Structure 1
Amino acid sequence: MKPVTRLFLIGAPIVVVVSVIFGGGDDSAVLADNPPENTASAAPNPLASGSDGEKKKLEERIRKMPPGLAAPGKKEMAAQIVASAENSTLDWRDQYDAIEDLDDGNGYTAGIIGFCSGTNDMLQLVEAYTEHHPDNPLASYLPALREVDGTDSHDGLDPGFTQAWAAAAEDPAFREAQDSTRDQLYFDPAVRLAKMDGLSTLGQFIYYDAMVLHGPGLEAGGFYGIRHAAMKEAKTAAEGGSEKEYLNAFLDESRHVIRTKVTETQRDTSRIDTAQRVFLKDGNMDLASPLRWKMYGETFQLPAS
């Protein structure tokens, strides 16, 4: 795994609220309007205004939009581009069993998008998996995962956790749980909010990659904080602004957050400079293949579909 993964801790209250707001694709989901009370947020809840009726109308409008990045072919492409940044490969399905400590302050990083023992998403994944498969190899590590959540500690995890993760990854149900948790916490919220902001398939991908990288936090360095800062610089397409201008502002903010990290490896901005910014400059708003980009100096490409 490349040492450029989720750069900010995702507090449990933030993740829970985000998953409540967006759900997992359930048509009955209602847009909630209460940000976590114990979070000092630089960004307002993006769905906080309006009555329940207005929110339901917004949900209906989003459902009627074209699938965009959620179309199967585009979603596969998104997974491949993210994998090039997270794991230096296009074969994202080969990463279910991957696990290591990247010395980035997030503890163990594992799986298809880098679930971290220190950022709550790994805990949510293992809890969801264990609920339906209580005898799985990771179940006995749940108390330790709860203890180390929010830290980089391995207490209670070593020496057997990495082997247990690899063993669990042999189970199709665990691979499915990774897919589902990725969608619920990152993919679905990013795509739905991008549609709400009037963004194209490329804009939806930019939101998704930022959600994976920075985490769905409301603070200045989290996804919602970055979006809030970008909206101060440019109007979204839904507000009548230029989508390209807004996305450039969003990428500027995301890049700034990356560049403020402590270590040089964390400060690498390839995923913006030689990938997303290139797609945007080329006007590839549909994220149409063939695609060619560089990540950490390595060239990747996807053929025309």
Structure 2
Amino acid sequence: MRNVAIVATVATVGLVPLGITVTASAATAVLISAGRPALASSTYAERYAAAHATDGSLGSRWASVSGGGTQWLRIDLGGVHGVSRVRLTWERAYATGYRIQTSNDGASWSDTYVMRSGNGGTDDLRRLHGRGRFLRVLATQRATRFGYSLREVQVYGSAPASRPGRPSSLSAAVPSTAAGLEHPARKEIALQLVSTAENSTRDWRGQYGYIEDIGDGRGYTAGLVGFCSGTSDMLIVVTEYTRRKPDNPLAKYLPALRVVDGSDSHAGLDPGFPADWRAAAQDPVFQKTQEDERDRLYLEPALALSRADGLRALGQFAYFDAAVMHGVSGLRQIRAAALRVSPAPKRGGDEVAYLNAFLDMRVREMRSEAAHHDTSRVDTAQRAFLRAGNLDLNLPLSWAVYGDDFQITRTGLMPG
């Protein structure tokens, strides 16, 4: 797994550190972190992925790489919440110094709690007054010669009255009834499936810094879903990144990206662009920009079309994956060809028959491009789920892409 090493600059807000467990009441708070997506500055090995810190099991854990320096674990709470309690269960590689921080955008952080004399075990921090969509444990001082390792991070706080607290295990986090990719757990499954086809790994969060020219006529391919210098989306991502953070290492390439858009040229990008992309990928602002543009450019249009056609999670994922590879205009063309063969469910058709027609047209389109002659991302993944009648992408899932086998089970939704 690639390391994403980020050292944050933070301002102490004068909080008094607590040395051990605190027992003040927080009875009104609900658990809001269970099963939520987690990201870390580094991971010692795939089996110690960040997601293990929110999976509800003390038998798994996140572990950073060994050595000195700051490391962090970030949890996306899915919306802005008040945070009143954080319970940390450390492995033997604990932090003697750390900060609990919150953020609305995953880029600008405020201290909610500062620890300077941690002694490991379980730190149950209550009477906190944080607020944000993201919560981060920023470890600043290690207790051992290794890195840092957390078995579980449990965040408690406010939640809308109409929404119950999230379940305490990954198994429960995946809805047992039909739910589309709007559901965070279903979306996470789809993102992992796409990542296995785009980057040969389920760990999509490790791909912010990916960049290469794969020889498909689209110039540089980079980031979470293969943004390309030749197909406008890379230009869109860097433009938005520069709007959010004008002083960034990629801003100087905007003129060149405008020139090479629509071609496979590297003019004005070489030799420094790949290294600068990888450097920018360490910036949480750039990471958030990639996620937002992935959703805006590809996921949201795919969901809108799939809802119009009455498709469940598998069909939604099939549309999303097609949009990532062929663009939304390509998705629309494939969809139009499929509709000429079989009506969609919203038009009175059978969902299985329609999806078979859609995948047929998708394969035909892929085979028209030399760089995409391998259609296993359809044949041994999407088609396999369809043959099994798994229209809701219920777990467990097993599939193969480009000769690699993958699984998502009920005991391991996230990488690891």
**Structures share fold, TM-score greater than 0.5:** yes
State the match for 2:391 in structure 1.
285
Structure 1 counterpart of 2:366, from 244, 247, 258: 258
The residue correspondences of 1:58-97 to structure 2 (distance < 5 A) are 68-97=180-209
CA contact (8 A) 2:179 2:312 kept: no
The one-letter amino acid of 1:71's match is: H
Distance 1:296 1:155 in 2: 31
Matched, 1:243 2:355: no
CA contact (8 A) 2:244 2:285 kept: no
Distance 1:298 1:100 in 2: 20
Runs of 4+ in 1 over 3 A off after TM superposition: none
Give the drift of 1:83. Answer: 0.6
Cα-to-partner distance string for 1:241-295 (whole Å, 9 max, x where unaligned): 00110010000000001112234xx200001100000100101011011100011
Distance 2:295 2:408 in 1: 22
SS at 2:390's partner residue? coil
Distance 2:190 2:273 in 1: 29
Pick the structure with more helix per residue: 1
Cα-to-partner distance string for 1:196-217 (whole Å, 9 max, x where unaligned): 1100111111111111111112
Q: Which runs of 5+ in 2 are unaligned?
A: 1-177, 412-416
Aligned length: 234
The one-letter amino acid of 1:274's match is: T
State the match for 1:231 in structure 2.
339
SS at 1:68's partner residue? coil
Distance 2:262 2:218 in 1: 8
Distance 1:302 1:67 in 2: 17
The one-letter amino acid of 1:124's match is: I
Matched, 1:126 2:234: no
CA contact (8 A) 2:230 2:260 kept: yes
The one-letter amino acid of 1:153's match is: S
Q: Which runs of 5+ in 1 are unaligned?
A: 1-65
Query: TM-score w.r.t. structure 2 length?
Result: 0.55
The one-letter amino acid of 2:325's match is: L
Matched, 1:296 2:402: yes
Distance 2:244 2:306 in 1: 32
Cα-to-partner distance string for 1:68-101 (whole Å, 9 max, x where unaligned): 1121111111111111111110111110001011
Pick the structure with more strand per residue: 2
Give the drift of 1:296. Answer: 1.3
Larger deviation, residues 141-150 vs 290-299: 290-299
Give the drift of 1:67. Answer: 5.6
Query: Which of 1 and 2 has greater Rg?
Result: 2
CA contact (8 A) 2:249 2:280 kept: yes
State the match for 2:325 in structure 1.
213
The one-letter amino acid of 1:207's match is: Y
Distance 2:378 2:275 in 1: 34
SS at 1:292's partner residue? strand
Cα-to-partner distance string for 1:123-161 (whole Å, 9 max, x where unaligned): 000001101200000000000000000000000000110
The RMSD of aligned alpha carbons is: 1.0
- Identity in percent: 56
Query: TM-score w.r.t. structure 1 length?
Result: 0.75
CA contact (8 A) 2:345 2:351 kept: yes
State the match for 2:376 in structure 1.
270
Distance 1:286 1:198 in 2: 13
SS at 2:181's partner residue? helix
Structure 2 counterpart of 1:166, from 271, 278, 281: 278
